[in-house]
Amino acid sequence: MSFEIIKKWFDCLMKKSNPLTWEIHRIHQFFNQPFFKAVRPIELKQPMNRLTKTELARHLNSNNDQSIKNNEQIIFTLLPIIIFGIFILRSIIVLIVDDNSEWCTWLGSIFHLVQLKRRPPEIACLHFVIEHLYYCGWLFLSKKNRNFFRLMISYCQQIYNPFECNEKNQKNLKKLQQNHNNHHFMDIDYKSMNILIKMIKILFIIQNLFILTALFGNLLSLIGTLFPINPYRNNFHLFHYSYLFYYLHLICFIIIFIIWNYWGSLYASNLYVHFAMIVMIFNFKLYTNIKQLIRIKSRSKIIRNSDKFINHFRRQSNLFTEIRLSNDYFRYYLSYLFIIYLSLFSHLLFVTLNTSSLSTSIFFILVCIYPAVIVLSLCLAVSRLFQKIFNCYKYYQNILAIYQSKILLFQYKLKILSTLDLIEHQTIGFSFIDSTYIQYNTIISIIFITTTLFLQIMNVM
């Protein structure tokens, strides 16, 4: 009997430890668990329908016990900060020293040995390290940012929790929807909610693929670059002309580099994914509100369904409040991300154009695509939300034009005029620190700034 129990336990352990048998939520847990050990979602005691300052204060006050950090949380908070700090120090040193310096060998700065100017790609590498350290500072140095991000994760996980299986997610969401009239949990209709869940699933799959690709891509690139180099060109005397010590040094450097790459990809992807999720949620909330407005736009329905008309403006006002609250936190993230990625793209483009080796050129082209995709995707997603809000202007103007008589009550007219004023001033959306709101024409500004920066780098380098 005991043998059978041990055998069953062993079979279960082997099944769980075999990646080929993992479901999507187990893969996500495998890659992202360290991040959520440091940034733990707030446990909601009741469903949260929207993000407001009141909700934020209420949930934080009721979750004071979670603010007490245990040893595990402290370790996973300090670990990435130490790793990123070490690599910033490494990047500064290799930028200061000469190409023939022994520090270049010890710290793995070998671009000059593969027919490249060493400093431009090292500057690009420094961009990545500064980016990752900034994310840690944004999350851990500001209690306000950390608590909001924790609450936002919990808010998004009400719709879909990537750490749980599909069956449990469906069961939890169905329970939440049953507690709301017309299945409008989070002010999103049932059909839109299903589409939103599918989009979020795809987003998490892309995130895991990104982390996996970054790890294996950089691992293969390092192996293919470092090992073919002649040791005598790389200060072989430092290792007493021992191939064993030399290649052990290369292996240790590759391991440390991959650890940094993993933590950096983890923080960059989680901030990006959760910001993209919140933008998706706002888009679907706005879509549901517009559908409701179109249904009640006729004269007869406005008279008979005054409650629905008031309800629409209540939801619209709540949505605008959510967007403004989120923008208060994310405008710093967006401003820094756009600055660092435009500079990074310009440096990587310079390195790519000055590379004579085909394989090295292909590698830097692929790396160059990364900041371009991130910036453009975020810009398009945020601009789409901004444009949708601005397009609501015509619906409210149409209502005012149709109902100029006393049938349109004064309170309705006042709500419409106040909403029109908000939309007309174009102050609902996501912005940079200088309160410049991201719109479709922001892409033109991005192209102009990137071109100018690239030409300046060409002149300096």
**Contact status, residue 51 vs residue 322, Cβ threshold 8 Å:** yes
Q: Tokens 């329970």 label which residue?
A: 175
Sign of the four-CA dihedral 151, 156, 160, 163 = negative
pLDDT, position 278: 94
pLDDT, position 74: 86
Give the pLDDT band (50/70/90) at residue 65. Answer: very low
For residue 216, give the nearest of 262, 251, 274 by alpha carbon: 262
Q: Tokens 């609450």 label which residue?
A: 151
Give the pLDDT band (50/70/90) at residue 67. Answer: very low
pLDDT, position 412: 64
| Contacts for 102 with CB less than 8 Å, ≥ 6 apart | 235, 238
Is residue 243 in a domain?
A: yes
Is residue 9 in a domain?
A: no
For residue 261, give the 3-state DSSP assignment: helix
pLDDT, position 266: 94
Is residue 159 in a domain?
A: yes
For residue 142, give the nearest of 328, 335, 340 by alpha carbon: 328
Is residue 6 in a domain?
A: no
Report which of residues 303 and 331 the model is more confident about: 331
Out of 2-11, 62-71, 232-241, 384-393, the most confident range is 232-241
What is the span of the domain harbouring residue 179? 23-460
Lowest-pLDDT range of 33-37, 65-69, 122-126, 334-338: 65-69
pLDDT, position 251: 94
pLDDT at 351 over 60: yes
pLDDT at 378 over 90: yes
H or E element in which residue 95 lies: helix 71-96
* % of the chain exceeding 70 in pLDDT: 84
Is residue 79 in a domain?
A: yes
d(CA 181, CA 177): 8
Is residue 1 in a domain?
A: no
Is residue 12 in a domain?
A: no
d(CA 137, CA 135): 5
Amino acid identity of 31?
Answer: F
pLDDT, position 256: 93
Mean per-residue pLDDT, 353-359: 78
Q: What is the mean pLDDT of the chain?
A: 82
The phi, psi pair for 431, rounded to 5°, reads: -135, 175
d(CA 106, CA 256): 12
The phi, psi pair for 437, rounded to 5°, reads: -80, 140
Is residue 134 in a domain?
A: yes
Amino acid identity of 216?
Answer: F
**Contact status, residue 383 vs residue 442, Cβ threshold 8 Å:** yes
For residue 160, give the nearest of 9, 59, 284, 297 by alpha carbon: 284
Give the pLDDT band (50/70/90) at residue 402. Answer: low
d(CA 398, CA 79): 57
pTM of the model as a whole: 0.87
Report which of residues 74 and 22 the model is more confident about: 74
Lowest-pLDDT range of 9-13, 36-40, 277-281, 356-360: 9-13
Lowest-pLDDT range of 19-28, 296-305, 436-445: 296-305
Report which of residues 64 and 78 the model is more confident about: 78
Number of domains in the chain: 1
Mean per-residue pLDDT, 318-326: 88
Q: What is the DSSP letter of 138?
A: I
Amino acid identity of 149?
Answer: F
Report which of residues 2 and 38 the model is more confident about: 38
